Structure 1
């Protein structure tokens, strides 16, 4: 408590007040300097778009990256400025918390850490900007593109921050080789324990990357046929036409048949009796195909009657094919069967059906 009594000595009181005023001046100067640096950073790191999204996207560095760099720089200015002011004030009051050599070493480490963090942030923003421009240039839309974009951006963020953490640990003389070795062993153990999960995630990534099928496509995956409702990195959901929802792990998908990639071909086989005129039946079917092409929007070209494809037990089979829009061939087949039946009936051409003849012996 002697130092408190010393404050009331006139000479000590004068020195204390002088140091106090000097400390206040240091704080005021620091506050003004921070404000000036804030304004300077706002002018230098100013968004180019000014609300115009198209102009902002044309720039080399996006407005989001500039904004992030400005916020990071202003945070460093704020805390760094007040930290230095605190060191100066402690020196004014002759409080020795750290030696000049230690302060110099600490300052160098702090500057290196700040440089690493700033570089990491800029690298993340640049990587994410590249990913965004790649997807924009390819004009890829839909949930598949969004999922891939989010996945790649997250991977870039985690990878850059992991490397930045290793570099920061090296500044403090931490053996990062042991950390990498431990991470490798841990990753190996997790990989062996979660092989199916890793397989599902890797398969899901390639399904999305290769665009094997998309949400809304009608597909057949192994024994399941239906409409794709959701695609994830681990599973995909298929809604069958009878209403059942099948959830299939991506790692278990071995074969995919996609009915929505390109025109499909509707095939209809019609049988006529052996007693009927084949040429007349083919002409009737061709006329009906031309009418169906004009009236059915799902048919993209005139259906073709290929001719006799089989001589059955009780019928002569004639096949007609029609190119249709993706996923519409089943509906077109049903409509063509109905039209062919009516057309053959109007022409008096018999479509055979099972008959049984009974002979009765009268004695």
Structure 2
């Protein structure tokens, strides 16, 4: 009798346990907790991965298309140094924009994925979003300069004001742009110093590498020199200098003699100008100054007041 009772109690307990497990498994909350939510979270992560992959692919394809797309020019035009310099600058700008686009897309996609996962875990994301808005406003007021830097950097890239490799002037700093980000522009000046300039502080910038530059020369000679002879010697020497292998590929036009531009009690200054490759005006000017000075000495052009005295003495003694 006791054995039968014990067996019956055991059977009832097993039945109760099975019934409890069955009821727990059939409970909609259990299905939602262990099946629906994990599947939804997995689906969210898969969708985020797919969107991130698609965004990177689209941006990469658009960047590559932008780099490979070239204006319809003749073969001769494409072989010029001017075209190659501008093309390299354009390609660098497209790569920078592509990197920024991929970063922005990743931030947006994974922020959405994180909020969606938290929502599936039962976390009320509405207060988080509201708090993020409040924190964003607080950060906006507390870090206005940082926000200004980012927006300024974005517009510098979009408007193509300058790019990596360009020679620019920001305030008193003149140098080559070595690196650009949305917040900082890094400039290497002529003395080798590396300047880190916040984009929000760039109110006025001069780009010496946009399309072309101009080499302007001021050649001082004595007031006793023949102006017609001086103009001819300077122009001929400058034209010959532009054909030298050292600077031939850096010059975009023929030198223009602008004539006397400044009178002084002891000398008169002749001005000469020539278009050069972007940022190469100083190299061309130094080479032309060397050739012009040698030509003036060769033609016995009077350069200083002391030369004038010597010439007069020679004429008087002659």
TM-score, normalised via structure 2 length: 0.72
2:194 is the counterpart of 1:245: yes
Q: Is the 8 A contact 2:302 2:308 kept in 1?
A: no
Aligned-pair CA distance for 1:179:
2.2
User: Residue in 1 aligned with 2:109?
Assistant: 160
2:226 is the counterpart of 1:277: yes
Please show how residues 105-254 of structure 1 align to structure 2 within 5 Å.
105-106=32-33, 107-139=35-67, 141-142=91-92, 145-171=94-120, 174-254=123-203
Aligned-pair CA distance for 1:333:
1.6
Aligned-pair CA distance for 1:146:
4.5
Q: Is the 8 A contact 1:301 1:324 kept in 2?
A: yes
2:240 is the counterpart of 1:288: no
Find the aligned partners of 2:221 and 2:105 in 1 and give their Cα distance: 66
2:278 is the counterpart of 1:352: no
Aligned-pair CA distance for 1:323:
1.5
| Higher RCO, Cα 8 Å, sep 6+ | 2
Q: Deviations over 1:271-324 (max 9, x none)?
A: 333333222222222221221121132223221212222333233332111221
Aligned-pair CA distance for 1:231:
2.0
| Alpha-carbon spacing, 1:161–1:229, altered in 2? closer, same or farther (3 Å) | closer
2:277 is the counterpart of 1:325: yes
Which of 214, 218, 233 is matched with 1:265 structurally? Answer: 214
Aligned-pair CA distance for 1:178:
2.2
Aligned-pair CA distance for 1:338:
2.3
Find the aligned partners of 1:262 and 1:231 in 2 and give their Cα distance: 20
Q: Is the 8 A contact 1:293 1:300 kept in 2?
A: no
Q: Is the 8 A contact 1:221 1:256 kept in 2?
A: yes
User: Residue in 1 aligned with 2:77?
Assistant: none
TM-score, normalised via structure 1 length: 0.64
Find the aligned partners of 1:244 and 1:121 in 2 and give their Cα distance: 43
Q: Deviations over 1:178-199 (max 9, x none)?
A: 2211110111122222222222
Matched residue pairs, number?
A: 270
Aligned-pair CA distance for 1:351:
1.4
- Across the aligned residues of Structure 1 and Structure 2, the Cα RMSD in angstroms comes to 3.2
Find the aligned partners of 2:164 and 2:177 in 1 and give their Cα distance: 5
